[in-house]
């Protein structure tokens, strides 16, 4: 799994592998530095099977189980996370 990060935020951190985490959980990613990510935002593209995920946790470990106010849909497309070196 790759986590996309803007060059401005990745500069001088020496990151290769990262852990994204929040109050819901954490997941390990390979870091890809790219302009595709806006400053202050990280992107995790695609869905991985747990068997292929680093540390056997995918980005779903970062999502809430709550439902949206409108239509009781899932909230898994937008999560606040912190990132640290793995």
C-beta separation of 22 from 80 below 8 A: yes
Whose CA is closest to 22, among 69, 47, 57?
57
pLDDT level of residue 9 (50, 70, 90 thresholds): confident
**Residue in the structure block whose two tokens are 């994204």:** 20
First-to-last alpha carbon distance for the chain, in angstroms, is 13
Chain centre to alpha carbon of residue 63: 10
pLDDT digits (tens, 9 = 90+) for 13-47: 777 788 999 999 999 998 999 999 998 889 988 87
CB 36 within 8 A of CB 20: no
Query: What is the DSSP code (8-state) at residue 52?
Result: G
Domains belonging to the chain, first-starting first, are 2-65+76-85 (2.40.40.20)
Could you tell me the pTM of the whole model? 0.79
Query: How many angstroms separate the CA atoms of 83 and 42, rounded?
Result: 9
């Amino acid at each position: 799994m790759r986590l996309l990060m803007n060059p401005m935020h990745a500069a001088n951190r020496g990151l290769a592998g990262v852990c994204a985490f929040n109050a819901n959980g954490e997941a390990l990613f390979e870091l890809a530095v790219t302009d595709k990510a806006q400053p202050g935002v990280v992107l995790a593209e695609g869905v991985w099977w747990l068997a292929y995920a680093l540390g056997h946790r995918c980005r779903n470990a970062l999502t809430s189980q709550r439902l949206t106010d409108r239509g009781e849909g899932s909230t898994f497309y937008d999560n606040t996370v912190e990132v640290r070196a793995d």
